[in-house]
Structure 1
Amino acid sequence: MSEVQDGRLDARLLQLIGVVLLGGIMGILDSTMVAVAADTLSQQFRTSLTSISWASTAYLLTLTVTIPVTSWAIGRFGAKRLWLFGLILFLVGSMASALAWDVGSLIVFRIVQGLGAGVLDPLVLVILARAAGPSRAGRVMGMMGVVLSLGPVLGPVLGGVVIESLDWRWMFYINLPIGIVAFLLAMRVIPADPPAGQRSDTRLDVLGFALMAPGFAAMVLGLTQAGEHAGFGTPSVLVPMSIGLVLLVGYVLHALRARRTPPLIDVRLFTSRSFAASVTVQGLVGLATYAGLFALPLYYQLLYGHGARAAGLLVAPLGLGSALAMPLAGRLSDRMGARSLAQGGAVIAALGAFALTRIGGDSSEVWSALGAFAIGLGLGAVGAPTMGALYRTLPPEKVPQGSSVLYNLNQLGGALGVALVTLILATAGADKGSAADAVGGFHSVYWFVTAVSVIILIATPLLPGRPETPPAPAAENERAPAEEPVGGA
C-alpha cells in the first residue's frame, strides 16, 4: 500500500480498516446486547437468571480459549483465509442462536459464536498492524479504538431497543446482513495470503495450548464468578482461579524449556521493557474502562430511577470521550511516541474519576456525564498510543503473539474490573441500602478508578518515547507483498 509524503492513510488502507472493523464490531456488540437481555431470555425459556448467564459466560470462555491458538493459525493458514473462516463461524453461530429453542441450545450456539469471535478479535489487530506498518501504527490503532470504545456503550443501548421493539431473536439476526457484507468486502479488500510454500509449517504447541488456553479461561471464569457473588472467598471463585494460576505457571515453565516446537506465546517477550509496559498499561486501561462502564448504569438506575436504556445512554459520554481521543492521540503518537501522551491521558482520567467521587445523590446528571467524558477522554489518550507503541516495537514475526497477549490481558482486566466494582458496591451496601450507602459505594468505585489511573501514570515512563525513525517516504511500500509483516504491508 502506498502512502503520501506526510504519512497519511491512503484509500486502500482506509478501505481495509473499514472492512476489518465492520467484521470485528459484531462480537463486541453481541456480547453486551445479550447481557441486557438476560431477564427477557429467562422468561422466554422459563429458566433462572443463573442458567441464562451461562449464555454470556460460555461465549466469553470460548473466545478466551480460542485466541491463543489463533496466533499460531495465522502463520499456518494465512490471515485472509482465517478471517473468512472466523466470519463464517460467527455467522453460523448467530443464525443458530437466533433459532435456539431452549437455554441449553442457546449456550451451545453461543459457544460456536465464541469460537468465531476468538478467531476474529486478534486478527483485527494483526491485519491492521501489518497493513499500517510502524510509521502509521498509532493512527490505525486509534481508528480501531473508536470501535472498541463505542462498542461496549452502544451494545446495551442497541440491545435495549431490540428487546423493547422487536423479538429477542433479532439480537442475533442483525449480525447476518452485517456479516454477509463484511464477508463479500473482505474477499476483495483483505490482501491475499502467501502461497502455501511460503507459509509457516510450525507444528501447534499442543501442550502449551492445553496449559495456557484453559488457564486464561479459568482465571476469567473465577473473576466472573467473583463479580456474581460479590466476593473472592467462595469455592466457585477460588477453585477456578487457583487452577488457572497453576496452569499459567505451568505454561511459563513449559515455554521457557520448549526446544523442538516453538511455544504459542514466547514469554521472553516480557523481558522487553517496552512490550511488558505496553501490555500492562493496556490491561490497566481495560480494567478502568470496564469498571466505569459497569458502575455508571447502576448509579443512574439506583439513584435516579432510570431504566436500562436511559442509563445506557447516560453512559455514552465515557465511550464518546474515548472515541474522540483515540484517533487524535494515535496519530500524534506516530511522531511523539506513547510516553507523553499516555501521561497526559492518565492525568485527565484521574481528574475525571476524582470528580465523580465528589458528586452526590442530588447532583445533576450533567456533572456525572462530564466526569465520565473526562475518564473516557483520558483513557483513550492512553490506549491508542500504547497499542501503537506495542506494534512499533514488536519483531514482525511476533505480531500475532503480541495481539494474543493484548486481548487476553484485556479480557482479564475487564473481568477483574467488573468483579472489583461489584465487591466494592456490595461491601458498601449500595445495592440494598439507603441512598447514602449507594453514594458512598459509588464514591469508593471512583476512588478505585482514580487509583488505577495513578498507577498508569506511574507506569508511563516505561513506555517508548519518540519513534527513532520518521514516517516512510512516499510510495516506499507500493509493491510490498500482501502478507508482509509489520512495516511492509
Structure 2
Amino acid sequence: MTETTEAKLSPQVKKALIALLVGGIAAILDSTMVTLAIHTLVVKLHTTTGTIQWVTTGFLLAVAVAIPVTGWAERRWGGKRVWMAALVLFVLASVLCAAAWNGASLIGFRVLQGFGAGLIFPLMQTLAVRAAGGQVDSRLMATVSLPIALGPILGPVIGGVILDWLSWRWLFLINVPVIAAGLLLAWRFLPADRPGATSGRGRLDWTGLALLAPALAGILLGLSQLSREGGIGHAGVLAPLVAGVVLLAAFVAWAARPGEREPIVDVRLLRVRSLGSASAVLFTAGAAMYAGMFLLPLYYQQLRGDSVLDAGLLLIPQGVGALASRFVVGGLADRFGARAVTIGGFLLTAVATVPFALAGPDTSLWWLGAVLLVRGLGTGVVLIPPMSVAYQDIRPTDIPHATMNTRIAQQVGASFGTAVVAVALQSLLGDGAAAAFHGAFWWAIGIAVVAVVPAVVLPARTRASRAATPVHGDEATSPRTAAPEEVA
C-alpha cells in the first residue's frame, strides 16, 4: 500500500466515511424500497396506479432539481452543515410520508424527501473526497459508493420484508433511527469546514438553475414515460423530453461562456480528460446497471410467479457479488489500470446477463443465482475506476462541480437504461412474456457492450497506481498536469 493510500485510510478518514455511509444509506435504500409498494399504496390510500406512480416519479424529479444546488450550498454554508441539514430534511419528510392520509399528500411529501436525497447523494461523494484531502483512489471510491451499489439489491429485500410483516408506513419510519445515528456520527466525525470570510461565497447562479433544473426534470420525466402507449410520439413523452434537451443545450451555452461568474455546475471542467471521460463512462455505467435492476425483479415476479419478497431474496447473490467487488477492485485498478478494469467489468456484466436472455420459467434458480453473483461482480467493478479517475486533474476548489457532473451523468444514464429496456419489454409483450423478457435482456446486454466504447478513453492509470512516480517542478502544484500514463 502506498503512502498516499495510507493517508486516505487514516482513522480520521475512516470515521468520516462511516458517518457518510450511515447517513446516506437510508436515502439510497428508500429510493428502491418504495417502488415495491405501488400496489399496496394504491389499495391502502384508495387511489389509482397512475396517481401513485408519481410517488416515485416525483421523488426522482426532486432529486434531479436538488443535485445542481449542492455545490453552491456547500460553498455558502460548508459541507458538514449542509450534509446535516439534508439529513434532517430527509428524515422529517420521511415522517410526513409515513403520516400521509391520501395519494396527493404522499406525493407532496415524497417530493420534499427527494429534494433532501438529491442533496445527500452528491454530498456523500464530495465530502468523502474532502475528508481524504482531495487524494482519491479506487479504495476510497469503493467504500463511498458501497450504498449506491447495494441499495438497489438490498432495498427490495428490506422492502419486501416490511410489506409482508408490517404496515407500509414503516417503509419511511425505518429511516428515523438510521438518520438519527447518521446525524450523531456526522456531528462527531465529519471535519468542520465552515467557510471563511474570503472563501468566495458567490451568489447563486439563478439563470443556470432556472435552465438546468427543469432541463434535468424534463429529460428524466420524458424517459420515465417512454414505455407508455404511444412511445416517444406521445405528448407526455415528447414534450418534456424535447423541452429538457433544449433547456440543457441552453444551460451548456450559458455555463460555457467566459467570465468571472461561477455557473451552478461548471461544465467547462468536462474538457479535462479525466473528468470528461469518467462522466461519459458513468452515464453508460448507470444505464447498464439500472437496465438490469429494472428487468431482474420483473423476471422473477412476472415470468416465474415469485412473490415480491421471494424476488428480493433471489437477487441477494448479485448484492454479494457487488460487495465482493469492493475488496478487489482497488488492487485490480492499481495493477491493470482504470481503463482495463472498467472494460473488463462491462464485458463481465454483459456475459453474465446472457443466461437471462435465454432463461425461461423453469430455469434452475441455482444456476441463475451463480450468474447473478458474477453479474454483481461486473456491475460493482464498473463504477469504481471512473469515479476514482474523475478527480485526478481537478483542483480542490472544483471538487463539488466535478461531483455534480458525474452524479448528473449517472442519474440520466440510469433513467436512459431503464427507459430503453422498459420500451423493449413493452413492445415485445405481444409475442409472449418469455419472448419479451428475452428481447429486453438482449437490449440490456447491448447497453453493457456499447458502454465499452467510452471506457476506452479513460486514463490508463489511477492516481494510486502512479503514486510512486516522481513529480518535479510545476507539475507538483498544477492540478491539471497529465502524467505520462494518463495520456497512454
Q: Would you call these one fold, judging by a TM-score over 0.5?
A: yes
Shift of 1:278: 0.7
1:337-376 map, 5 Å: 337-376=337-376
- Partners in 2 of 1:6 and 1:86 — Cα distance? 30
- Partners in 2 of 1:156 and 1:43 — Cα distance? 19
Say which SS state the counterpart of residue 101 (structure 2) adopts.
coil
- Partners in 2 of 1:228 and 1:199 — Cα distance? 48
- Relative distance call for 1:177 and 1:338 in structure 2 (3 A) is same
Q: Which of 448, 460, 463 in structure 1 is aligned with 2:443?
A: 448
Say which SS state the counterpart of residue 393 (structure 1) adopts.
coil
**Maintained 8 Å contact 1:129/1:137:** no
**Maintained 8 Å contact 2:424/2:443:** no
Counterpart residue number, 1:116: 116
- Relative distance call for 1:219 and 1:195 in structure 2 (3 A) is closer
Shift of 1:6: 5.3
Counterpart residue number, 2:393: 393
**Maintained 8 Å contact 1:142/1:330:** yes
**Structure 2 residue 75 is matched with structure 1 residue 80:** no
Say which SS state the counterpart of residue 445 (structure 2) adopts.
helix
Q: Tell me which amino acid in the other structure corresponds to 1:427.
A: S
- Partners in 2 of 1:152 and 1:59 — Cα distance? 15
Counterpart residue number, 1:225: 225
Shift of 1:124: 0.4
- Relative distance call for 1:135 and 1:252 in structure 2 (3 A) is closer
**Maintained 8 Å contact 2:301/2:307:** yes
Counterpart residue number, 2:475: none
- Relative distance call for 1:275 and 1:348 in structure 2 (3 A) is same
- Partners in 2 of 1:8 and 1:263 — Cα distance? 30
Shift of 1:371: 2.6
**Maintained 8 Å contact 1:337/1:465:** yes
Of 214-223 and 270-279, deviating more is 270-279
Counterpart residue number, 2:193: 193
**Maintained 8 Å contact 2:125/2:403:** yes
Q: Tell me which amino acid in the other structure corresponds to 2:435.
A: G
**Maintained 8 Å contact 1:78/1:199:** no
- Partners in 2 of 1:211 and 1:418 — Cα distance? 25
**Maintained 8 Å contact 2:333/2:465:** no
- Partners in 2 of 1:211 and 1:98 — Cα distance? 33
**Maintained 8 Å contact 1:90/1:117:** yes
Counterpart residue number, 1:482: none
Shift of 1:438: 2.3
- Partners in 1 of 2:280 and 2:463 — Cα distance? 23
- Partners in 2 of 1:154 and 1:413 — Cα distance? 21
- Partners in 2 of 1:369 and 1:229 — Cα distance? 34
Counterpart residue number, 2:14: 14
- Relative distance call for 1:450 and 1:198 in structure 2 (3 A) is same
Q: Deviations over 1:42-96 (max 9, x none)?
A: 1111110111111211111111101101111111211001011101111110111
Q: Tell me which amino acid in the other structure corresponds to 1:129.
A: V
Counterpart residue number, 2:296: 296
- Partners in 1 of 2:204 and 2:421 — Cα distance? 38
Q: Tell me which amino acid in the other structure corresponds to 2:460.
A: G
Q: Deviations over 1:111-131 (max 9, x none)?
A: 221121111111000011122
- Partners in 1 of 2:465 and 2:165 — Cα distance? 52
Q: Tell me which amino acid in the other structure corresponds to 1:429.
A: L
Q: Deviations over 1:202-225 (max 9, x none)?
A: 111110000011100110011111
Shift of 1:316: 2.4
Q: How does the TM-score come out when normalised to structure 1?
A: 0.90
Shift of 1:290: 0.9
**Structure 2 residue 40 is matched with structure 1 residue 40:** yes
Counterpart residue number, 1:215: 215
Shift of 1:388: 0.6
- Partners in 1 of 2:28 and 2:171 — Cα distance? 12
Counterpart residue number, 1:182: 182
- Relative distance call for 1:5 and 1:111 in structure 2 (3 A) is closer
- Relative distance call for 1:394 and 1:319 in structure 2 (3 A) is farther
Counterpart residue number, 1:138: 138
Say which SS state the counterpart of residue 71 (structure 2) adopts.
helix
- Root-mean-square deviation (CA), in Å? 2.3
Counterpart residue number, 1:428: 428
- Relative distance call for 1:360 and 1:106 in structure 2 (3 A) is closer
**Maintained 8 Å contact 2:290/2:418:** yes
- Relative distance call for 1:378 and 1:106 in structure 2 (3 A) is same
**Maintained 8 Å contact 2:278/2:458:** yes
Counterpart residue number, 2:418: 418
Shift of 1:145: 2.6
Say which SS state the counterpart of residue 373 (structure 1) adopts.
helix
Counterpart residue number, 2:66: 66
- Relative distance call for 1:141 and 1:347 in structure 2 (3 A) is same
Q: Tell me which amino acid in the other structure corresponds to 1:251.
A: F
**Structure 2 residue 474 is matched with structure 1 residue 466:** no
Q: Tell me which amino acid in the other structure corresponds to 1:152.
A: P
- Partners in 1 of 2:350 and 2:73 — Cα distance? 40
**Maintained 8 Å contact 2:211/2:247:** yes
- Partners in 1 of 2:225 and 2:13 — Cα distance? 41
- Relative distance call for 1:40 and 1:61 in structure 2 (3 A) is same
Q: Tell me which amino acid in the other structure corresponds to 2:193.
A: D
Counterpart residue number, 1:25: 25
- Relative distance call for 1:45 and 1:470 in structure 2 (3 A) is closer
Of 131-140 and 71-80, deviating more is 131-140
Gaps of 5+ in 1: 474-484
- Relative distance call for 1:269 and 1:8 in structure 2 (3 A) is closer
- Relative distance call for 1:18 and 1:267 in structure 2 (3 A) is same
Of 89-98 and 7-16, deviating more is 7-16
Shift of 1:314: 1.4
Say which SS state the counterpart of residue 225 (structure 2) adopts.
helix
**Maintained 8 Å contact 1:327/1:384:** no
- Partners in 2 of 1:460 and 1:137 — Cα distance? 17
Counterpart residue number, 1:481: none
- Partners in 2 of 1:472 and 1:410 — Cα distance? 28
Q: Using CA pairs below 8 Å that are at least 6 residues apart, which structure has the higher relative contact order?
A: 1
- Relative distance call for 1:195 and 1:280 in structure 2 (3 A) is closer
Shift of 1:395: 2.4
Gaps of 5+ in 2: 469-478, 481-488
Q: Which of 425, 429, 433 in structure 2 is aligned with 1:438?
A: 433
Counterpart residue number, 1:152: 152
- Partners in 1 of 2:289 and 2:16 — Cα distance? 27
Q: Tell me which amino acid in the other structure corresponds to 1:32.
A: T
Of 418-427 and 464-473, deviating more is 464-473
- Relative distance call for 1:239 and 1:468 in structure 2 (3 A) is closer
Q: Tell me which amino acid in the other structure corresponds to 1:130.
A: R
- Partners in 2 of 1:188 and 1:331 — Cα distance? 31
- Relative distance call for 1:426 and 1:341 in structure 2 (3 A) is same
Counterpart residue number, 2:248: 248
Q: How does the TM-score come out when normalised to structure 2?
A: 0.90
**Maintained 8 Å contact 2:76/2:202:** yes
- Relative distance call for 1:385 and 1:299 in structure 2 (3 A) is same
Say which SS state the counterpart of residue 226 (structure 1) adopts.
coil
Shift of 1:334: 4.8
